[in-house]
Amino acid sequence: MAPFLNADLHCHSVVSDGTLTPEQLAARAKANGVELWALTDHDEVGGQLRAAAAAREHGLHYLTGVEISVTFAGQTVHIVGLGFDAADPRLQTGLNNTRGGRDQRAQEIAAQLAQVGIPNAYEGALKFVGNPELISRTHFARFLVESGVCQDTHEVFRNYLVEGKPGYIPHRWAHLKDAVQWITECGGAAVIAHPARYKFSANEEYALFSEFKTHGGVGVEVVTGSHTPAEYAIYADMAKEFGLAASRGSDFHSPEESHTDLGSLPYLSGQLTPIWELLEHRIQ
């Protein structure tokens, strides 16, 4: 696989908080010129067989994918897994446990919203949910747009559902060590997702990268829809400093909501080791 490859190794379907099916995403990836694709639903591999089959139909190379929610130093961090065996019970059991608690949290989010005059948010969010085990803040955001509270989901995440605003319920996700191990022991590569999104101090960020490496993590997203071009350069340097491979992915969720479409990002710098070089044997 060439270093300059239109790889899109991060996106979401209706199996988590995207609005397209795995089949619709595969068709869109193909139409946008993607050469290597991975569907990375939050805490869930239920869409993997469908995504791989659709990729095959379109002649797209495919890597299995997932985005695991982790709590590290008091914040939520996302760890992407690529190229694992999706049928392996070790990853599936870990993800089952990570998903647990989402429904309870959703009811608490709705109770807080009711206190600020927004009733029935649980039922409202559920209408947008494709997978009952995966009710997320994104589904609440869609409900708040539909009911006219906010213009769009970006406005929602400035005024609701985030720390210090109505509808925020802290949650304890998986441990970093466990998430990295589930991915790795099932044959995959663990990747730190969109590192620029976290609000860590320099020391905390250093701790995240070094502990991630210690536990067996091998990659970091450098070119992602969540980073600015200046941040591509910062995390390209971090990848080199920590000896990590680089990944590339849009984090596409929806044609209506996402700024970055599948396959539309710049290539990785030729000075980085692309994550797919480590995963050639796992490409379907």
Query: Please, which residue, 192 or 193, has the CB nearer to Mn ion?
Result: 193
Q: List 244's β-bridge partners, or say none.
A: none
Residues 27-46 that bind ligand AMP (CB under 6 A): 42
Among 8, 41, 44, 251, binds Mn ion (CB under 5 A): 251
Q: For tokens 């939520």, what's the residue? A: 76
CB of 24 to Mn ion, least distance (A): 17
Q: Does 221 bind ligand AMP (CB under 6 A)?
A: no
Residue 137 contacts which entry, ligand AMP, Mn ion, none (Cβ below 5-8 A, type-dependent): ligand AMP
Contact 167, 139 (CB under 8 A): no
Q: Provide CB contacts within 8 A for 172, sequence distance 6+.
A: 71, 101
Candidates 2-10, 124-132, 134-142, 265-273 — which segment interacts with ligand AMP by CB under 6 A?
134-142
Query: Please, which residue, 69 or 224, has the CB nearer to ligand AMP?
Result: 69
Residue type, 83: G
Q: How many CA atoms lie within 13 A of 138 on its CB side?
A: 22
Kindly determine how many residues on this chain lie close enough to bind ligand AMP according to the rule CB under 6 A.
10
Candidates 15-23, 107-115, 199-207, 213-221 — which segment interacts with Mn ion by CB under 5 A?
15-23
The mark string for 240-269 relative to ligand AMP (x by CB under 6 A, - otherwise) is -------------x----------------
CB of 236 to Mn ion, least distance (A): 19
Contact 110, 214 (CB under 8 A): no
Please name which of 79, 37, 80 lies closest in space to residue 61, comparing C-alpha atoms.
37
Query: Please, which residue, 181 or 226, has the CB nearer to Mn ion?
Result: 226
CB of 249 to Mn ion, least distance (A): 8
Residues 74-93 that bind Mn ion (CB under 5 A): 78
Rounded-to-integer distance, Cα 39 and Cα 229, Å? 24
CB of 80 to Mn ion, least distance (A): 8
Contact 128, 139 (CB under 8 A): yes
How many other C-beta atoms lie within 10 A of the C-beta of residue 132? 9
Contact 83, 279 (CB under 8 A): yes
Q: Does 41 bind Mn ion (CB under 5 A)?
A: no
Contact 85, 200 (CB under 8 A): no
Query: Please, which residue, 226 or 272, has the CB nearer to ligand AMP?
Result: 226
| Helices and strands, counts by H and E, the chain | 11, 8
CB of 76 to Mn ion, least distance (A): 9
Rounded-to-integer distance, Cα 186 and Cα 139, Å? 30
Binding residues for ligand AMP, rule: CB under 6 A, are 17, 42, 69, 136-138, 153-154, 157, 253
